[in-house]
Chain A
Amino acid sequence: MSFLRHPALHWALGLVLGGVFLYASYDKILHPAEFAKIVYHYQVIGPSQTLPPLVPNLVAVTLPWIEVVIGACLVAGLWRREAAALSAALLLVFLVAVSSALVRGIDIQNCGCFSVTAEGRRAGLQLILGDLALLAGALILTLGPRSAAALAPARAENVQEPA
C-alpha cells in the first residue's frame, strides 16, 4: 500500500478534492438565502421548536466559506493534511445529514451539494457513494506524509540516492 503515500498521488488528490470543494462553494456563496432553505429542508439543525433560525442561518452563511478555505489549501498544498482532515469531517457531517433525511423519509429534492438554484441532485444512495469516495480521498491525504517538501531533507540525510 506504499503508493498511498506517493507524493504524486497526494498532489493529484489535493487538486481533485480541493477543486470539488471550491466548485461546491461557488453557487452557495452567490445565493446564501437559497442555501439556507436547503439547510432547513434537512431538518437536522433546525429551525424547530428548540432551535431558532439563527442556527441553520449561521451554518448556511459560513459553511460555503469554510469550503473555500479548505479547497484553496488543498489545491495550493498549504496545510494539506489539516485541510484534508477538516474536509473529511465535513464530508462525514454531510453523510450523516443525508442518511438521516433518507431514514426519516424526508425527500430532499436538491441536496445543496453544488447548485442551490438550478435543479440540484436529489439526496439518495448515489450521493452517499459519491460522498464516501471523496471521504476516502480525504482520509488518504490526512494520513499521508506531512508534505513532499518536508520529507525531502530527511530522505537526503538518511538515504543515499543511487547515482
Chain B
Amino acid sequence: MGLRAWRIAVLVAVGVAAGLVWNGLSGRGFALSGNVFVRPGDEVIEAAEAKARLDKGALFLDARPVDFYKMSHIPGALALSEDDFERAFARLEPALRARFDLVVYCSGYGCEASHIVAGKLKQRGIQAAILNEGWPAWTDAGYPTRAGEQP
C-alpha cells in the first residue's frame, strides 16, 4: 500500500509543535509539570503525613460516593461526597466549622472529588488539606480502615 512513514512523522511533529506553542503562548495553557486538579493555595499531603495527622486526631472527609464510604473508609472519617455535597454539608457544617485539621480524600489518581470538595469548603471559609492519590495511597501503605454507615 506504500504509505510514506515520514509523512506520518511530519503530521505528528507539526501537531505536537503546534500544541506546545499554543500551550505556551495562547494564555489558555497550563503548567505541564503539575497536576491540573491542584489549584493554587491547595494543601496537598502524602499518605504518611495524613496518617500522622490522623494519630493526632485530625478529622477525615470522604468525598467518594456514599456507597464506597459504607464499604470502607478511613477511621473516623465523615461522608461528604461530591455528588451530594449540599445536603451532607448542611448536616456537618457545625462540626466542620469547629475544626482546623480536616483532610479530604477520594478514590485516587483519576479522581477530582477531593479537590472539588476542598474547593467548596474553601468558598465557605473552611480550610481542608487534600490527601494526594487518595484511597489507594492510604490502603497501599497498609493504614487502618473501617466499614459501615456514618455514626
Judge whether A148 is part of the interface by a CB distance below 8 angstroms: no
| Chain B binding surface SS class | loop
Judge whether A131 is part of the interface by a CB distance below 8 angstroms: no
A: interface residue count bin:
35 or more
A66 partner, pick from B11, B29, B36, B37, beta carbons under 8 A = B11
Which residues of A in the span 13-52 have a Cβ within 8 Å of any Cβ on B? 29-33, 36-37, 40-43, 46-49, 52
Query: A49-B133, A142-B3 in contact; A29/B37 too (CB < 8 A)?
Result: no
Judge whether B91 is part of the interface by a CB distance below 8 angstroms: no
* Alpha-carbon distance between A73 and B7 when the two chains are bound, in angstroms: 11
Q: How far is the CB of A29 from chain B (nearest CB, A)?
A: 7
Judge whether A63 is part of the interface by a CB distance below 8 angstroms: yes
Judge whether B48 is part of the interface by a CB distance below 8 angstroms: no
Contacts of B133 in A (CB 8 A): 49
Name the residue of chain B whose CB is nearest to the CB of A108: B110
Are B32's CB and A69's CB within 8 A? Answer: no
Name the residue of chain A whose CB is nearest to the CB of B2: A146
B1 partner, pick from A52, A73, A142, beta carbons under 8 A = A142
Are A58's CB and B109's CB within 8 A? Answer: no
**Which candidate, A78-86, A121-129, A152-160, is the interface stretch facing chain B?**
A78-86
Are A85's CB and B8's CB within 8 A? Answer: yes
Contacts of A49 in B (CB 8 A): 109, 133
* Alpha-carbon distance between A104 and B34 when the two chains are bound, in angstroms: 26
Are A47's CB and B35's CB within 8 A? Answer: yes
Which residues of B in the span 1-52 have a Cβ within 8 Å of any Cβ on A? 1-4, 7-8, 11-12, 14-16, 18-20, 22-23, 28-30, 32-37
Provide 22 A-B residue pairs closer than 8 Å at the C-beta atoms, listed in order of the A residue: A40-B35, A40-B109, A40-B110, A41-B112, A46-B109, A48-B109, A49-B109, A53-B35, A54-B32, A54-B33, A58-B32, A61-B22, A62-B15, A65-B15, A65-B16, A66-B15, A66-B16, A82-B3, A82-B4, A82-B8, A85-B8, A143-B1
